[in-house]
């Protein structure tokens, strides 16, 4: 479903022609459905604030903000801008990307990968800035593989564990751990695949808890909506999470990627909250503040979403989520996002100020 392409001095996942043919009708249908939903619902101010954002060395599948060569000063500048937007939490997507052959900290285990020193200056700047940090470890697309075998799974476990052990040298500089590989329920259950992935989650997360019992673990899987399939989706995730000591689940709302639609957000949120309640997991929501273009014909195919759509996403999440995070503010709300980014940034900043003023009046 993807190819690896080199751009400048780093690699990117790019969609294959087959992936484009699959995605384009889904994108068109999703955008049309969301526009219809927005036309039928009055605009409303956001009921919650987005208080966390993913950051990264570089986006794995498009040209965004590249921090591969940032020092602590550049990281501090970025993180202070996020604080001004009301952010108190950042999540580094991954310290290693397996398929890209890239490592973002000095590593012995991944010494065959191209390496940059990103993790250290980011953590140092975040500590000085006062932000909570969830540090992502070993990133891979294994969770999206339909067919898995024991050799793949054992290699995955070894790589996950090796990365985490090496990252523990920075233990005093991060607050939680982000499990980078993503997965999703894709319309039908694959029991064997669920068992394989459950073994990865269970063994690796238990290892983290044994080494660092106080460490909070965060996941952010995708949401794919299939009519009449939410009960099956819940059962699939119950199987995936059986015996897994996960602390926080922050599913992507998948509105930007068009795996889900505004009309179905409440149904999918109810499903997610039931799963989290079953396992005593804290529920956050990952609000996608981007919108996909109609044609995936390049290595940058997203742009910043409208304030109306993002506000609707926030308000749909508000009855369920304890906290809202997003993918990803440095780019979609940053200097490189153009007029659309400036409009959404202004909208969310004004919402933050209004919330602050409201809390002052209330107190």
Q: Quick check: is 361 in a domain?
A: no
pLDDT in tens, 174-186: 999 999 998 999 9
Q: What is the mean pLDDT of the chain?
A: 91
Domain membership of residue 363 (yes or no) is no
The total number of structural domains that make up the chain = 1
Residue 264 in any domain: the answer is yes
The 3 state secondary structure assigned to the chain is CEEEEEECCEEEEEECHHHHHHHHHHHHHHHHHHHHHHHHCCCCCCCCCEEEEEECCCCCCCCCCCCCCCCHHHHHHHHHHHHHCCCCEEEECCCEECCCCEECCCCCCCCCCEECCCHHHHHHHHHHHCCEEEEECEECCHHHCCCCCHHHHHHHHHHHHHHHHHHHHHHHHCCEEECCCCCCCCCCCCHHHHHHHHHHHHHHHHHHHHHCCCCEEEECCCCCCCCCCHHHHHHHHHHHHCCCCCCEECCECCCCCCCCCHHHHHHHHHHHHHHHHHCCCEECEEEECEEECCCCCCCCCEEECCHHHHHHHHHHHCCCCCCEEEECHHHHCCHHHHHHHHHHHHHHHHHHHHHHHHHHHHC
Query: Residue 188: is its pLDDT beyond 70?
Result: yes
Which CATH number do you get for residue 241? Answer: 3.20.20.80
Q: Where residue 360 falls among pLDDT bands split at 50, 70, 90?
A: very low
- The more confidently predicted of residues 14 and 280 is 280
308, part of any domain: yes
Is position 38 within any domain?
yes
pLDDT of residue 355: 61
Q: Does pLDDT of 325 surpass 70?
A: yes
- Whether 15 is in a domain gets the answer yes
* Residue 319, in any domain of the structure: yes
Domain that holds residue 195: 2-356
pLDDT tens, residue by residue, 37-73: 999 998 889 999 999 999 999 999 888 899 999 999 9
Whole-structure pTM value: 0.93
């Amino acid at each position: 479903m993807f190819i690896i392409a080199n751009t400048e001095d780093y690699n990117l996942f790019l969609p294959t022609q087959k992936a484009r043919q699959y995605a384009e009708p889904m994108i068109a249908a999703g955008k049309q459905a969301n526009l219809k939903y927005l036309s039928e619902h009055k605009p409303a101010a956001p009921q919650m604030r987005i208080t966390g954002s993913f950051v990264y060395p570089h986006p794995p599948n498009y040209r965004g903000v590249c921090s591969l060569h940032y020092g602590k000063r550049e990281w501090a500048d970025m993180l202070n801008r996020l604080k001004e937007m009301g952010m108190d939490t950042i999540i580094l997507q991954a310290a290693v990307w397996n398929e890209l052959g890239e490592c973002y900290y000095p590593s012995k285990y991944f010494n065959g990968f191209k390496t940059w020193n990103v993790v250290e200056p980011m953590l140092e700047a975040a500590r000085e800035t006062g932000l909570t940090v969830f540090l992502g470890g070993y990133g891979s697309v294994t969770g999206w593989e339909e067919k898995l075998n024991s050799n793949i799974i054992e290699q995955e476990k070894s790589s996950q564990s090796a990365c985490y052990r090496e990252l523990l040298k920075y233990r005093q500089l991060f607050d939680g751990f982000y499990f980078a590989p993503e997965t999703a329920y894709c319309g039908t259950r694959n029991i064997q695949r669920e068992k394989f992935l459950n073994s990865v989650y269970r063994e690796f997360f238990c290892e983290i808890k044994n080494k660092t019992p106080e460490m909070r673990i965060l996941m952010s899987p995708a949401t794919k909506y299939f009519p009449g399939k939410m009960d099956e989706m819940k059962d699939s995730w119950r199987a995936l999470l059986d015996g897994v000591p996960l602390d926080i689940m922050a599913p992507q709302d998948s509105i930007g990627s068009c795996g889900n639609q505004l009309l179905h957000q409440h149904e999918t949120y109810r499903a997610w909250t039931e799963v989290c309640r079953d396992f005593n997991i804290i529920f956050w929501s990952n609000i996608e503040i981007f919108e996909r273009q109609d044609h995936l014909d390049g290595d940058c195919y997203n742009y910043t979403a409208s304030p109306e759509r993002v506000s609707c996403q926030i308000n749909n999440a508000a009855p369920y989520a304890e906290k809202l995070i997003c993918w990803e503010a440095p780019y979609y709300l940053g200097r490189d996002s153009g007029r659309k980014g400036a409009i959404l940034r202004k909208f969310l900043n004004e919402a933050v100020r209004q919330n602050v003023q409201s809390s002052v009046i209330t107190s």
